[in-house]
Structure 1
Amino acid sequence: MSTTKTALGRFFSERYYDQAAQTAYYLMLSIFPFLLFVLSLLNFLPINLDSLLLFIEPYAPGNTYTFIENNVLRILEGNQSGVLSISLISAFWLASMAVQSLARSFAAAYEKETTLPFWRTLLHDLGVTAIFMIMIPVSLFVPIVEKGLLWFVAQAGELETWSLWITLWPILKWITGSLFLFLFFLFFYSILPKKRLALRTIVPGALFTTLSWQFISWFYGQVVGYVSYTQIYGQLAGIIILMIWLYLSAAVLLIGGLINATSYQTRKENIRLE
């Protein structure tokens, strides 16, 4: 708890909320090119557009999902070949800007000056971006895993009543999704900082981010459901809601990184005192 409190203190005192805004801006620019890139891969995967949108829906609060769905469908109804041909380049470059922003923030969190040449730092960040651009489409197989789990349990015949199954299935589905998110964030926090980190120092941040991001997405979705942003912002409501959600997501990512940095520094200090 003290580690989390220290990380939250650093988030505000060292103005990491500014870095969260910068990261959210780059994510905002890259989200649609990236979605179009993923859609271009669907021809090679046993997944359709509806499965992709259903995968996004639980995490995108309120009108954000509708905004994303409408714009993606509108673009796909137009000239696909021209758009999809540049979506990969646009998504890669813009997403790399978000990764570079996070990498600079983590370097500051670990109080580590970057000694690598600019080109090596850039190649590292571009490589990290490429890895995540591959990993995220792979996550689309999570619904397939869930369907496999559903089939396995049904075949096992251990659930005697459908009422019990209806109660247990959302829990199993949440556990499956949470496990994937935890592994994703664990890898994220291990590869992005340019230093070797022990597993024990990155587990707290990955666990915090996994639980907090899901809670914030759910809570923000509830708030958006009660507040009519359309009456306030008109046609810009979808963009505003999406931007706030991306900002909150970036803030959670940074706080998770600060928790890991605090855990790392505490462990390093304890070793020095021994």
Structure 2
Amino acid sequence: MVDSLIVSVPDSRLANAVGDLPDAVELVEWDFEGAPPRSRIDLVVPPYMGGSSRIGRVAEVSSRLVQSQSIGYDGVDELLPEGITFANASTVHETATAELALTLTLAAQRGLPEFVRNAESGTWKSRMTPGLADKNVMILGYGGVGRAIEDRLLPFETTVVRVASRPRTDDRGAVHGVDELSELLPEVDILIIVTPLTSKTTGLVNDDVLSALPDGALVVNVGRGPVADTDALVRHATEGRIRLALDVTDPEPLPEDHPLWSLPNVLISPHVGGASGAMLPRMVALIRRQIDHLLADEEPENIVLRT
């Protein structure tokens, strides 16, 4: 057992939500802007937005664990000081991200962007739309978020093709390896990208991948913008060969004069995959579990990096 624990959170909103803690735990606020409030902070929770880019500041304190508020941690390994244990926010964002992936997919498949534009001019214009039932949907990047997306797709009577970095078999059958993409893509109606950003996945969805998709296919990206080649996306969407529903782009934020904004077959949301009312209570639950682990001198959850 540990006699005392100091925990930092970035703002009063999260501090108030965490609520009462054991007497052995001191909760302080540190937003990575000013000096750290203590020289020792056992559990550091960085800001949700922009926290990763300033993660080097944990070198200013003695720490046992840095608990991110994001699932993704691309680039953190290059900025994290030596001797730090870093955990991601698995269990916090999977459901919300899956909700948005399904929302974007349904909206694009049922023509909602066009209907919204028509409503602005008072135009009543119906048409047949592709829909979701009976479609072949590929989930590219089958982890926790990918499985949550699959859970929501199956009741819509879809066929789900799952692709990960390496092939494997689980309780739902085969998970294909990424090296099988070229064989699988010609039969895919909807490609949902949820893979994390690494050196191997940067630019993974390139011109060759997009060209292998059938005409009229929908590409949904709720992973990371640089996983897809933006120039290739613009070219294929401009030609009208594919449709896009993007929660993430490269660059971010997308400049107001970027050609993706003006294409009628492109739907864009501003990187809000995890931004739902479920985030705060789930983040609080994770922080409190990590506190319990540290007090009991146990291994924390979700460790993804040790430097």
- TM-score over 0.5 for the pair: no
The structure whose Rg is larger is 2
Which has the larger helix fraction?
Answer: 1
Which has the larger strand fraction?
Answer: 2
TM-score per shorter chain, which class? under 0.3
- More RCO (CA 8 Å, sep 6+): 1
